[in-house]
Amino acid sequence: MTPLLTSRTAFTTASPWVIALAFVALLMLIATVCYPFGYDQAVFSTAGEMIRRGAVPYRDFLDTKPPIIFYIYAAALGIFGHHEWSPHALDILYQCAAAFYFFRILRREFSRDISLIAVSLTLILYAGSGFWMTAQAESFAILPSLLLADATMRAVEVPTKANYYGLLAGAAAVMLLLLKFTFVFGAIAAIAFVFWFAQMESKPKWRFAVGFLMSSLLLAAASVIALWRMDALERFLQSLAWLSGYAAIIPAQHSLIEEIFLVFPERVVYSMSISFLVLAAWGVAGWIRGKDRAPLPTLLLLTFLFQLFGILVERKIEFPYQYTRALWAITPFMALGLTELIRKLVKLGKSSRIGIILWVVCVPCVLLLSPLPRIFTQSIPWTRIALEHDDAAAEVQRRIPDYFSEEDRQVANYLRSTMKASDQLFFWGNDVAIYFFAHKLPSTICLTATPLRTAFTPPEWKATLLHQLADAPPKYFVVEFGDARPYITGSVQDSYQALLAWPELNTFLQNDYVNDTTFRHFHIFSRVIAR
């Protein structure tokens, strides 16, 4: 297939500046190995260590995510060891594989430069999003998303194998579903493309749909059976009901209308910067005006829009990492806009003084006034901190005061100095990194306190926790305070207040434990021998 817009907006071979951009993208991606834990990475790492020791999600610990992310983290820690950088090391390899695959897909319809620019911008936007935003479930969604897009495109190109490619697309859809339920909107985009936009006869469309349905149902059924055999199905189904309550929580400072029409557009712009958004819009407009109606750009644009809609459905639109699921699909249009902009600037610079003025004055001003410097320099301070062996946790807490990263380490170091190898630890709060850095694992279903603190928590979960604590009382009981998260729990109470409001758990603590010490936002209680 002829590369899209090759003769008009792209170069026939890779240009030096495009290669330089790809090199910058790779350096930025490699630098993410220096990123510290965010809240989610700490949760996933602790759960990953539990899985490495035989734990099963939902049966042995509770969290709000589908199970695959925990197994990915278990693999990272198994390969690279018990380090804060291990998940990022695996993520770097994963993103490199995804970038190569994305490039191969794009080269079927785009020029070499457009493809390489798009892949580079994907990596730059990802690595430049910051330490909190990487190695998330959204990060690992890119490979199954690419498989879904590739299988869909090949079904259009080779209709005689539409059923086979439908099977692959269905498998990719289930992988996305097991990473996060709302990723399924990528699969909806693929089906919509095949039935309403692809130039295919009716029979291949239905063969694709049947193959898609068969593989997705079989794999979904296999997942359910696996959960049932591991005695985790009942609690998994309860977690689905819990998630419906969680999704209904809207931050108190915004109404639903404000969330959709003010916060959501602002977050979309923030995730890619106004500069890249303008380039993407320019690229889309140029593609719409052009005579070439290649199918891949249509599928990419549909995927971008449907995945954005999935964020709205999830109703957690304030979290910037959510947008990673969609941004990769819009970067080819950014690449089209960027090459068109450079072509016009080069032409103006050769033909008039206005072009020279644009290059010398306007372009640097646009770069300085846009969020691009924030994106391109995101990894620099963390790399410096790592090279100079400074305290990254202290810098995290300085930037995000309500995430007690430095205190996590202080509490963990204290516990490591006082606990024996056989001593157990129970943590009640949000910042679960204490387990990871203390080299301890939860001995109850409580990973973080969040699932057990809401008004819609199943009573059985609380009963199970109390029973596990009574059967094997831990040596230390750590409680976090000042960690209220109304947008997660639907309550203004912090973890300590929630404990005091739970009579049975409070009684357990008061009867068997005394205050050992307090580290700023963490009470540490030690168990006393019953009289």
Mean predicted confidence (pLDDT) in 177-204: 94
Q: Which residues pair with 525 in a beta bridge?
A: 477, 515
Measured in degrees and rounded to the nearest 5, phi and psi for residue 111 equal: -70, 170
pLDDT at 114 over 50: yes
Q: At what angle do helices 185-196 and 295-314 cross, to 10 degrees?
A: 140
Burial code (b: 16+ CB inside 10 Å, e: under 16) for 188-219 equals bbbbbbbeeebebeeebbbbbbebbeebbeeb
pLDDT digits 0-9 by tens, 102-112: 999 999 999 99
pLDDT digits 0-9 by tens, 221-278: 999 999 999 999 999 999 998 988 887 776 655 677 777 788 888 899 889 888 899 9
H helix or E strand, kind and range, residue 480: strand 476-480
Report the C-alpha gap between 92 and 104 in whole angstroms: 19
Report the C-alpha gap between 18 and 120 in whole angstroms: 9
Task: To the nearest 10°, report the CA torsion of 38, 43, 46, 51.
Answer: -130
Q: What percentage of the chain reaches a pLDDT higher than 70?
A: 91
Q: How confident is the model at residue 344 (pLDDT cuts 50, 70, 90)?
A: confident
Task: Say what the pLDDT of residue 355 is.
Answer: 65
Q: How confident is the model at residue 341 (pLDDT cuts 50, 70, 90)?
A: confident
Report the C-alpha gap between 403 and 399 in whole angstroms: 9
- 376 close to 45: Cβ distance less than 8 angstroms: no
Written as six digits, the tokens of 293 are 């109606």
Report the C-alpha gap between 67 and 55 in whole angstroms: 12
Task: Give the CA distances from residue 433 to residues 89, 153, 496, 516, in Å, rounded to whole numbers and listed in that order.
Answer: 18, 42, 17, 20
Report the C-alpha gap between 165 and 155 in whole angstroms: 6
Mean predicted confidence (pLDDT) in 77-87: 97
Written as six digits, the tokens of 280 are 């993407």
Closest CA to 30 of 77, 96, 102, 76: 96
Report the C-alpha gap between 421 and 205 in whole angstroms: 60
pLDDT at 64 over 90: no
Q: What percentage of the chain reaches a pLDDT higher than 90?
A: 73
For residue 126, count other CB atoms closer than 10 A to its CB.
26
Task: Say what the pLDDT of residue 246 is.
Answer: 81
Mean predicted confidence (pLDDT) in 183-205: 94
Q: Worst-scoring range by mean pLDDT, 44-53, 388-397, 464-473? A: 388-397
pLDDT at 530 over 90: no
DSSP string covering 107-162: TTTB-HHHHHHHHHHHHHHHHTT-TTTSSSTTGGGHHHHHHHHHHHHHHHH-GGGH
Mean predicted confidence (pLDDT) in 54-76: 95
Q: How far apart, in Å, do the first and last CA atoms of the chain sit?
A: 81
- 182 close to 64: Cβ distance less than 8 angstroms: no
pLDDT at 148 over 80: yes
For residue 460, count other CB atoms closer than 10 A to its CB.
11
Task: Say what the pLDDT of residue 10 is.
Answer: 41
Amino acid (one-letter) located at 348? L
Task: To the nearest 10°, report the CA torsion of 355, 356, 357, 358.
Answer: 50
Q: Could you tell me the pTM of the whole model?
A: 0.93
Mean predicted confidence (pLDDT) in 403-408: 94
User: Can you say whether residue 340 is alpha, beta or left, with left for phi > 0 and alpha for psi between -120 and 50 degrees?
Assistant: alpha
pLDDT digits 0-9 by tens, 4-43: 454 344 444 668 899 999 999 999 999 999 999 999 999 9
Task: Say what the pLDDT of residue 362 is.
Answer: 65
Instruction: Please return the burial class of 421, using the count of CB atoms within 10 Å of its CB with bins 0-12, 13-18 and 19+.
Output: exposed
DSSP string covering 163-209: HHHHHHHHHHHHHHHHH-GGGGHHHHHHHHHHHHTS---HHHHHHHH
- The 3 state secondary structure assigned to 256-271 is HHHHHHHHHHHHHHHH
Closest CA to 479 of 494, 464, 457, 461: 494
Averaged pLDDT of the chain: 90
> DSSP letter at 361?
I
Report the C-alpha gap between 461 and 160 in whole angstroms: 51
Helix (H, G, I), strand (E, B) or coil at 83: coil
H helix or E strand, kind and range, residue 407: helix 405-418
Q: Worst-scoring range by mean pLDDT, 157-171, 301-315, 368-382, 498-512? A: 368-382
Task: Say what the pLDDT of residue 318 is.
Answer: 81
pLDDT at 531 over 60: no
Written as six digits, the tokens of 202 are 């009716």
Measured in degrees and rounded to the nearest 5, phi and psi for residue 518 equal: -135, 130
Q: Which residue has the tokens 């990263």?
A: 405
- 124 close to 375: Cβ distance less than 8 angstroms: yes
